[in-house]
Structure 1
């Protein structure tokens, strides 16, 4: 087993391992440090001898590292005695990580404690629960990597200094922290549904973990509409995964997707969650889910109710304004009313410098210019977008579109995937 295998297991099991160790040691920072040391040991050990149970091996090794760390802390000998005692949940290579799902949820709420800033909550939970690297988090939030690393370090120190207990909070406090938890799940899912970098468009491991946690959260808080809104959004978006890439991994644009390959069971689950979310009015996640439902219910791009989608984006822009929402609204306007109106929206975003350095703005602008037959300008925008795009698969689409403008082909509209 090589580094890729270690990474794959870590992606799946990191939250469960850190959560179990946090429960046992009561020390959030120590738990993550021990888990990271176990991963480092796996990178050396697994290529020589592959473990029968990789998840159990990581759990047992992280437990031993935690014991070593606590040994070195004379003031915590009582914790060492507790941890050294046999615990069937983490003892040995046959540990069952599925037994500690509630611990993962508790870990999420600890990471989203009010003593932390919003930025620290999101960064810390993405790192410890989602298993994302500092680089991935930085790309997701368009901030420098050292900034993310500083947020994570400060967050762990703040939790330790405040003595935050490792437990699910009471109902009232739970609702106070819910927004941060939902935000984290949303970013994890978004990274899984369109990877910000690397050689794959999709990272289903992250996306399906976010869905799993969202389902758990919905079961815990069945009367919270936005929990069901987020779950609906994730299910409806993930339903298109089977058709979003070709066999070689290259992206398939929305207009070219075989809708028969969509996961219609996921569509039904998403629509059912959307019904539950709409009982008291749709919030930001519910509105995004309604947009996804409009796509999922349409037999083709041409038959999509673009006017409804524009209205939904306008509503979303009022309750949760952001430049990405405006950019997506521009795409919907282009499909419903033509590229001229949409270009005005994009140009306003550029004038206000709302998404500096992002590849999304020149990508959309280039496609709109292509539809207006302003080919040289369109090619320049698409080439700029390709230079800024960190995902190789997505970049290849942009390069191909730019190259097509040197010939006689012409784009039919903004290319969603």
Structure 2
């Protein structure tokens, strides 16, 4: 690798580097192993097993080796190893909402290339072999990628990117058919905070169970006083912005839709080719095809929602206010929550997704003995809402939310098809509520 040159005082001289022979040998070895067919994960495990120090003395991870091909990150994509320095690849801007710096890629025409042959540590032939293997793997999985505008769309699942392992702090992600597990444990990555040991949190949880359990704790906070006024205002604001979106955005979304359809055809062709060659089905292809179809349908709906002609904005906004008043919002959201908790209506989950994600900052998943369900700790605005509520009010609202869901289920199942049956059920709810009040009065908020 390359080390920074320093002056007589030991201070770093910006922009000047020199080759560290020992580190350079490690880089060449990584390139050779990858070109010969070893995966970045196996390379990282091998280096850690041999106690070869990684960047800043930390353990090796596959992501540091693999990086991102188009962004030029990671050891395998670092052009400085072939004597070429690339500047101005990205610019940084501050997000006014999060106050964090966000990186944005500059167009290739804006890059500044400088040849520094004295810094070369990898031969052209070895670099070419690595790029050819990356291309082969990239073509195999290109259908799972998406263009850069997809990052602005809503996440694929209700709790995408909000899940965290209680032991190592790493992300929980889909690792099988709709089942979440700790990414660090699956990759057997050494964790510096655990003294170089791998995460031992082997607890997995299905997506349906996870979403259902998180949604179960939301209605109490969600149906607290005043929240529907806020949500109605947000919905009206979002719908108003949609009316004012420029025509160019629709054209861009149409191009994006065409790209998704192209990738769909590519996957279908690969599935067909595998079948004709007598090769076994690949689950990854089927799962990716499902994900792309989900994105395609959502994008098609957004395109259809565009107004073809300029509307009367005042009349349109007034109509939105009537349609999305707090009372109507509450009725719709109660229905959506019920459908989402049942896990049978993906459209309902998409409707509540932005609201859930505004209340939940993260969900920490912890291990439990044996076959007991994983522990879940929900963090975010919901915790503040629940903490501010009186315990008696909290329990009463939870009871009402559960009763409301039970009543609708029985009504839809045809179990209470007469007024007499409905009155009898409501009376039983009232009696149960009366019995619970003394119990709740003895509870204390922790």
- Structure with larger Rg: 2
Higher helix share: 1
TM-score tier after normalising by the smaller chain length: under 0.3
Q: Could you state the TM-score of these two structures normalised by the residue count of structure 1?
A: 0.25
